[in-house]
């Protein structure tokens, strides 16, 4: 037995209390220390946690940042996001391949540097971007590639890549990152600044029911994308029976083009923490979890520091805001690269140390959630809004925004606009107003709500951004006249194919079929009936899939088919003789010509 | 009035679907009243003599010859029906699709444990059609108008389908004739 593996596993399992539900921390730790989770490590983990090896293997094989085979000491993960590709990620990838002498997916012969693609890492406004281990590198160019490779070869130390620091708290010792916040517009709710503890002290003077009533009166809707009324969720959870309850913050923003939570976590984590503690007070929970996406690992020390400071100030822990019995504490659960974990039940599975496969719903997490106890899962921004509502009052909040979408919304703006970044704007503005603000007047399309949202055409630019019209979790990708929307849709489908958890057939298989048929059309081999096929298939996948991923994954194709049909019809061909343009007889005979050693003969009758 | 013409063929199939056609039993007399058979293994006519209303295709495309015949059917028939699972999906022959063709041929003619082949070559006579890299369902090679599932489709399903086509009526098959679970 390899002593080192055994030691590392024993150390890490002991640190997590030999608790099976903390498997994620163990496998992440093993990956970080040993460069992979080998079969031997899996055996050891299973032994220490008292579970079967297959459970460990199930977890390791599920997450993109975990691997059974050793990866390079430094792994360069280039963001494969549509926006990063608009900004030249493909050229950067090629440059890395050349500089390292390896292909994507390989590791240099000395085992030092690995090269991979990864799904959107939330740096679309400063792309092309990549992660080198947990260090984000932004504004990549072919010139920067050789600098990065040289530095990594010389030092083997990703942290040394950080030469200039971003603004605000990105420059602190604990974050120490080149990432910039790019906050273009500060609104009244999130970025207005709040005296620490103001919301908690206010909440402590209210009853839990009053807190819930306040959030309900403010008509706060969840900021993650679905827009479910937060107060109602809290009330359901408060009423649900359970010996313990939990509050989970979904900081797994993985929708391509979304990065607003990153800025909240960087600049105002205290607001989030107050919001979570208030939610705990309202529903009767004393424990919270921040589920932080693996891509944001560089923010973990900063978040832990913020929590420690809140503890010192009496705003976290026991007797919050001086109120006896108001107790709340938070732990951070790191993810490991899985978009589907942004779905609340998959996120809970992941927090319990399982594969991030969504659960059947109902029962909903408010009744049967984390450790089968009633659990509220809300987006980062939702908790922040809740804290401000308690502080400033429901009336103040409800005045902002539109009738059914109150308050301000953070937008992550990227793509073909002159001012990409984060904007805090009231709900209800039109797409035209939005484009004017972000410098995207030439836009031919806007992807509202990321790939699982809607792609809107210029005729729809007078539509309003709010849940009663065009809902969004904040991702806004602007497409200029030079872009091919079909290429973008195809890249979005690649993303969903990659991120499908594989549990249900419509999503696992259907998305692949949608992508294949779309690519047929892109290659100029599609026919009119392929559009009918795509429409039917999109509907089937949406209707039959088990969770939100499959229920929305056909949207890039379905909404462009609806709003940009001419982009498809332009590329169609008509087969007058009834032959399929996709069938290439010469290619199909290629293997036989080699194996049978003669050219085909075409007999005439 | 001249009777409409019908043609049929078996590509990479087992002739089971044609056996199922014969299972219509005495209705074959009615069929002869309704239609005239052009190119078909049933009457052994090798070449199309005229344009046909309906072409029934059994089997998928595994070799160059299958593609040629299928394309002929497409150009001679108004309506093409994929009959049975091989035509519709590739069927049993498509089990080789997961294995590269070269490995299949090597196993069959060069390296297999029971192979005795002094030439040391894969058969390559010009009379033997070249094999395609994989078995294709018919609709990937030409446009197919209708698919009739089953292995084979029951005689009643084939009969109902053909009669509906000839009368230009919608086909309403009972569930029992379409379920395969």
Tens of pLDDT, residue by residue over B88-102, are 999 999 999 999 999
pLDDT at A601: 86
Quickly state the pLDDT bin for B181 (edges 50, 70, 90).
Answer: low
Question: What mean pLDDT value characterizes chain A?
Answer: 95
Q: What is the CA radius of gyration of chain A?
A: 25
**CA geometry: angle at A76 spanning A73 and A82, to 5°?**
160
What lies within 8 Å, CB to CB, of A505 at 6+ separation is A544
pLDDT of residue A492: 97
Q: Which two three-digit tokens encode residue A9?
A: 């596993």
pLDDT in tens, B47-84: 999 999 999 999 999 999 999 999 999 999 999 999 99
Nearest to A347, CA basis, from A329, A221, A361, A54:
A361
Structurally, at CATH architecture level, domain A75-163 sits in 3-Layer(aba) Sandwich (3.40)
The pLDDT tens digits of the residues spanning A79-110 come to: 999 999 999 999 999 999 999 999 999 999 99
- CB of A197 closer than 8 Å to CB of A210: no
Q: Which of A589, A602, A605 to mutate: most B Cβ within 10 Å?
A: A589
Inter-chain touch A578–B143, beta carbons under 8 Å? yes
Which chain B residues are closer than 8 Å to A588 by Cβ?
Answer: 67, 132-134, 136
The answer to whether B101 contacts A578, with C-beta atoms less than 8 Å apart, is no
How far apart are alpha carbons A297 and A307 in whole angstroms? 16
Which pLDDT band, with edges at 50, 70 and 90, does A74 fall under? very high
Cα–Cα distance for residue pair A472/A253, rounded to 1 Å: 13
- List every span in chain A annotated with CATH 3.10.20.600: 408-479
**Which residues make up the CATH 3.40.30.10 domain(s) of chain A?**
75-163
Q: Is the pLDDT of residue B179 over 90?
A: no
Spell out which chain A residues touch chain B, with contact meaning CB-CB distance below 8 angstroms: 575, 577-580, 582-583, 585, 587-598, 600-601, 603, 605
Q: In a mutagenesis test of the A interface, which of B124, B130, B133, B144 is the best target, namely the one with the most A β-carbons within 10 Å?
A: B130
φ and ψ of A247, to 5 deg: -115, 125
Phi, psi values for residue A112, rounded to 5°: -85, -45
What is the gyration radius of the CA atoms in chain B, in angstroms? Answer: 18
A3-62 has which fold?
Arc Repressor Mutant, subunit A (1.10.10)
Contact between A56 and A27 under an 8 Å Cβ cutoff? The reply is yes
Strands A329-334 and A375-379: unpaired
CATH classification number, A184-398, choose in 3.40.50.11540, 3.90.79.10, 3.30.499.10, 3.40.50.720: 3.40.50.11540
B29–chain A nearest CA distance, Å: 32
pLDDT digits (tens, 9 = 90+) for A156-176: 999 999 999 999 999 999 999
Residues of A whose CB is below 8 A from B55: none
Question: What is the model's pLDDT at position A280?
Answer: 97
HEC profile of A413-454 = EEECCCCCEEEEEECCCEHHHHHHHHCCCCCCEEEECCCCCE
ipTM of the complex: 0.92
Asked whether residue A604 carries a pLDDT value surpassing 80, the answer given is: no
Average pLDDT of span A62-75? 94
Residues A539-597 pLDDT 10s:
999 999 999 999 999 999 999 999 999 999 999 999 888 999 999 999 999 999 999 88
Tell me if the bond preceding B104 is cis, omega within 30° of 0. no
Average pLDDT over residues A291-306: 97
Q: CA of A597: which chain B residue's CA is closest?
A: B124
Asked whether the beta carbons of residue A583 and residue B74 sit closer than 8 angstroms, the reply is no
Confidence of residue A1 (pLDDT cuts 50, 70, 90): low
Q: Which residue of A has its CA nearest to B123?
A: A596
| pTM: predicted TM-score of the whole model, two decimal places | 0.90
Question: Taking CA atoms, what residue in B is nearest to A575?
Answer: B143
Contact A589 B71 (CB under 8 A): no
Q: What is the predicted pLDDT for the residue at A273?
A: 97
CATH 3.40.50.720 fits A408-479, yes or no: no
- The CATH H-level (homologous superfamily) assignment of domain B5-96+133-178 is NADH:ubiquinone oxidoreductase-like, 20kDa subunit (3.40.50.700)
Q: Would the CB atoms of B133 and A590 count as touching at under 8 Å?
A: yes
Instruction: Report the percent of chain A where pLDDT is more than 70.
Output: 100
pLDDT in tens, A508-525: 999 999 999 999 999 999
What is the C-alpha separation between A429 and B51, in angstroms, rounded? 63
Instruction: Assign B178 a pLDDT band (cuts: 50, 70, 90).
Output: confident
Please report, for residues A520, A527, A567, A568, A582, the alpha-carbon distance to residue A572 in angstroms, rounded to integers and kept in the order given. Answer: 9, 5, 9, 7, 12
Of B12-21, B93-102, B121-130, minimum mean pLDDT range: B121-130
How much is the average pLDDT of B154-160? 94
Cβ of A588 within 8 Å of Cβ of B132? The answer is yes
Q: Which residue has the tokens 């301000």?
A: A408
> Which of A494, A595, A593 has the alpha carbon at shortest distance from A553?
A494
Question: How confident is the model at residue B177, as a pLDDT?
Answer: 86
For β-strands B61-63 and B131-136, DSSP reports them as: antiparallel
- Res A602: pLDDT: 82
Per-residue pLDDT tens over the stretch A449-487: 999 999 999 999 999 999 999 999 999 999 999 999 999
Average pLDDT on A144-153 reads 95
> In this predicted structure, what is the pLDDT of residue B180?
73
B172 cis-preceded (ω within 30 degrees of 0): no
Omega of the bond leading into B152 within 30 degrees of 0 (cis): yes
Q: Which of A573, A574, A583 to mutate to test the interface with B (most CBs of B within 10 A)?
A: A583
Q: For residue A210, which phi and psi values (nearest 5 degrees)?
A: -65, -40
Q: Determine, for residues B133 and A592 on separate chains, whether the beta-carbon distance falls below 8 Å.
A: yes
Q: Where in chain A is the domain with CATH 1.10.10?
A: 3-62
Residue located via tokens 């005239």? B36
Q: What is the pLDDT of residue A228?
A: 95
């Amino acid at each position: 037995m390899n002593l080192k593996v055994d030691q590392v596993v024993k150390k890490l399992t002991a640190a997590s209390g030999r608790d099976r539900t903390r498997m994620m921390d163990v496998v992440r730790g093993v990956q970080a220390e040993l460069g992979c989770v080998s079969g031997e490590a899996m055996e050891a983990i299973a032994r220490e946690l008292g579970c079967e090896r297959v459970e460990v293997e199930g977890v390791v094989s599920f997450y993109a940042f975990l691997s059974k085979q050793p990866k390079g000491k430094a792994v360069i993960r280039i963001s494969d996001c549509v926006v990063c590709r608009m900004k030249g990620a493909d050229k950067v990838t090629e440059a890395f391949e050349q500089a390292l002498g390896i292909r994507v997916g390989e590791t240099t012969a000395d085992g030092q540097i690995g090269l991979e693609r990864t799904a959107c890492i939330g740096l679309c406004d400063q792309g092309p971007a990549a992660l080198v281990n947990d260090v984000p590198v932004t504004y990549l160019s072919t010139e920067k590639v050789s600098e990065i490779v040289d530095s990594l070869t010389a030092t083997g130390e990703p942290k040394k890549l950080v030469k200039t620091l971003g603004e605000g708290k990105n420059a602190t010792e604990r974050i120490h990152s080149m990432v910039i916040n790019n906050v273009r517009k500060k609104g009244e709710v999130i970025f207005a600044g709040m005296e620490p503890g103001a919301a908690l002290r206010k909440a402590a003077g209210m009853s839990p029911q009053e807190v819930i009533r306040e959030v309900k009166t403010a008509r706060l809707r969840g900021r993650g994308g679905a827009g479910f009324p937060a107060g109602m969720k809290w009330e359901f959870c408060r009423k649900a029976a359970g010996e313990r309850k939990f509050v989970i913050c979904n900081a797994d923003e993985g929708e391509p083009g979304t990065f607003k939570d990153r800025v909240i976590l960087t600049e105002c984590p205290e607001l989030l923490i107050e919001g979570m503690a208030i939610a705990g007070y309202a529903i009767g929970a004393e424990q919270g979890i921040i589920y932080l996406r693996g891509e944001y690992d560089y923010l973990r020390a900063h978040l832990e520091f913020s929590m420690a400071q809140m503890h010192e100030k009496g705003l976290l822990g026991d007797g919050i805001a001086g109120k006896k019995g108001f107790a709340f504490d938070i732990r951070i659960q790191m993810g490991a690269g899985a978009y589907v974990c942004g779905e609340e039940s998959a996120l809970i599975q992941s927090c319990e140390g399982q594969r991030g496969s969504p659960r059947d719903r109902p029962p909903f997490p408010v009744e049967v959630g984390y450790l089968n106890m009633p659990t509220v899962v809300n987006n980062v921004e939702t908790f922040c809004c809740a804290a401000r509502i308690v502080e400033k009052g429901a009336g103040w909040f409800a005045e902002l925004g539109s009738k059914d979408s109150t308050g301000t919304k953070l937008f992550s703006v990227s793509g073909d606009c002159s001012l990409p970044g984060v904007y805090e704007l009231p709900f209800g503005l039109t797409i035209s107003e939005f484009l004017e603000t972000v410098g995207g007047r030439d836009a031919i399309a806007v992807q509202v709500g990321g790939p699982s949202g809607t792609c809107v055409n210029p005729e729809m630019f007078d539509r309003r951004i709010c849940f009663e019209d065009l809902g969004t979790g904040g991702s806004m990708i602007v497409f200029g006249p030079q872009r091919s929307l079909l290429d973008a849709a195809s890249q979005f489908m690649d993303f969903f194919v990659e991120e499908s958890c594989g549990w249900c057939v419509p999503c696992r298989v259907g998305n692949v079929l949608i992508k294949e048929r779309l690519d047929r059309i892109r290659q100029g081999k599609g026919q009119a009936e392929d559009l009918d096929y795509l429409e039917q298939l999109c509907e089937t996948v949406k209707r039959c899939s088990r969770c939100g991923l499959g229920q929305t994954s056909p949207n890039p194709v379905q909404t462009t088919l609806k709003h940009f049909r001419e982009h498809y019809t332009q590329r169609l061909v008509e087969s007058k003789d009834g032959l399929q343009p996709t069938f290439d007889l010469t290619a199909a005979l290629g293997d036989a010509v080699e194996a049978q050693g003669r050219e085909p003969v075409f007999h005439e009758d | 009035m001249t009777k409409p013409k019908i043609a049929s063929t078996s590509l990479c199939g087992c002739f089971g679907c044609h056996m199922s056609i014969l299972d219509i039993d005495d209705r074959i007399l009615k069929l002869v009243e309704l239609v005239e058979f052009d190119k078909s293994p049933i009457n052994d006519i090798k070449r199309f003599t005229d344009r046909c209303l309906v072409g029934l295709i059994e089997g998928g495309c595994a070799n160059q010859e299958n593609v040629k015949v299928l394309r002929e059917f497409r150009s001679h028939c108004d309506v093409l029906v994929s009959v049975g699972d091989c035509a519709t999906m590739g069927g049993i022959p498509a089990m080789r699709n997961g294995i590269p063709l070269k490995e299949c041929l090597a196993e069959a003619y060069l390296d297999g444990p029971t192979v005795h082949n002094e030439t040391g070559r894969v058969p390559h006579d010009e009379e033997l059609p070249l094999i395609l890299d994989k078995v294709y369902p018919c609709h990937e090679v030409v446009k197919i108008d209708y698919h009739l599932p089953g292995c084979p489709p029951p005689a009643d399903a084939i009969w109902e389908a053909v009669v509906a086509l000839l009368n230009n009526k919608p086909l309403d098959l009972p569930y029992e004739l379409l379920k395969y679970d």
